[in-house]
Structure 1
């Protein structure tokens, strides 16, 4: 089943056409990695999925509902969103960061929220005692795990990730890659994961979307991308793999 679908989407920002007649179907439970040079439209595409941006032309469907006909706030609260700088609130404890979305969605029971925070900390491989700490007291890898826990707090079916491991050292990055794969399979999440690292894209993706200048260059399984690059740009991209 297709859970996200772009149909002839055009997006213009600052007078520039960022996405050009963009079409894409993402299957439920799929891990899709997205790669391309800076400015090719990757992040714009991600923001369109959860309604942070709206298309200038064309249609986007999430869970079979056209975004033009949906409650955007409710939609965003059903999705997880993880970014490179973790996006944590520095003045809140780890527990309050994790339970932020459930609380603003009306779930005010402190005991239930506490149990949820501890459950999610365990899920992402952190000790329960981390709940009382503040983001500045954590390492980069720990902060990123908290960011993922917070994204999972609303029990989403879709997880959007924009270069989440880009600022981590190589050892922590590889550990986090392994962890997100385990989580995706365990929770049966649909993941759209932007990266600038072709090795990361190859390791994580069921399929890889290669973008350039607002369009799809190639969309295929990692092995086909590696063995049958569609043009010189993709060939150069996969040369290091």
Structure 2
């Protein structure tokens, strides 16, 4: 097992006066694949928001590579993470333009050549014709597969996957789970209710206060 990469330390959070997480602790080591489980609204996706620096817990700290998350390092943290949100409606317009726009950002250090894009689309049963479509014309499953493909093209070693297979059929769920867990150097935090993940991750962590 590699060194400690991510740490949630004594995280507590309340929604509408109700405590959802209390003194939650989790250490994630390089190369680990961890499934976060728990009831809806228990704070699983919120942990991703904290790690990405989009919000802060009521109390507690988040560390990345041993450093506490702060405005000084959050930009660097984000350039090391591929984040696939639960809501797949993250774009509009032409898909080719969408992909080109992502890879034009200065924070993205890799390029997406035509062959690489074609190869990863094919991996998830999408052909090149999808690039000429409008994002809004895709089905929910197509949107999920496209976002997963883009997350891989970013060539990062840390993945936050929030219900990444919810709109896929059983065979594709299994294919996606196997693809993301086969690389020993990648670190995965997954929120999912799909049993395909539970069978092949290193650890399953229950999130949320016990009732």
Q: Which has the larger radius of gyration?
A: 1
Q: Report what 1:142 is aligned to.
A: 142
Q: Deviations over 1:157-213 (max 9, x none)?
A: 211111122233xxx24323322322332373211111234x234224211011232
Task: Count residues in correspondence.
Answer: 208
Distance 1:120 1:200 in 2: 21
Q: Pick the structure with more helix per residue.
A: 1
- Distance of aligned partners of 1:105 and 1:121 in 2 relative to their CA distance in 1, 3 Å threshold: farther
- Superposition RMSD in Å: 2.8
Distance 1:106 1:51 in 2: 16
Q: Deviations over 1:23-60 (max 9, x none)?
A: 10112111111111122111111211211222332221
Q: Report what 2:117 is aligned to.
A: 117
Which 5+ residue runs of structure 1 have no aligned equivalent?
218-232, 234-241
Q: What SS is found at the alignment partner of 2:199?
A: helix
CA contact (8 A) 2:5 2:28 kept: yes
Q: Deviations over 1:87-106 (max 9, x none)?
A: 3412132x333344332226
Distance 2:178 2:67 in 1: 27
CA contact (8 A) 1:101 1:153 kept: no
Q: Report what 1:129 is aligned to.
A: 129
Q: Report what 2:164 is aligned to.
A: 164
CA contact (8 A) 2:94 2:132 kept: no
Q: When the two structures are superposed, what TM-score results if normalisation uses the length of structure 2?
A: 0.82
CA contact (8 A) 1:98 1:117 kept: no
Distance 1:101 1:133 in 2: 17
Distance 2:60 2:208 in 1: 19
Q: When the two structures are superposed, what TM-score results if normalisation uses the length of structure 1?
A: 0.73
Following superposition, the deviation at residue 125 of structure 1 comes to 4.4
- Distance of aligned partners of 1:76 and 1:101 in 2 relative to their CA distance in 1, 3 Å threshold: farther
Instruction: Tell me which moved more, 52-61 or 114-123.
Output: 114-123
Q: Report what 1:196 is aligned to.
A: 193
Which 5+ residue runs of structure 2 have no aligned equivalent?
none
Q: Report what 1:226 is aligned to.
A: none
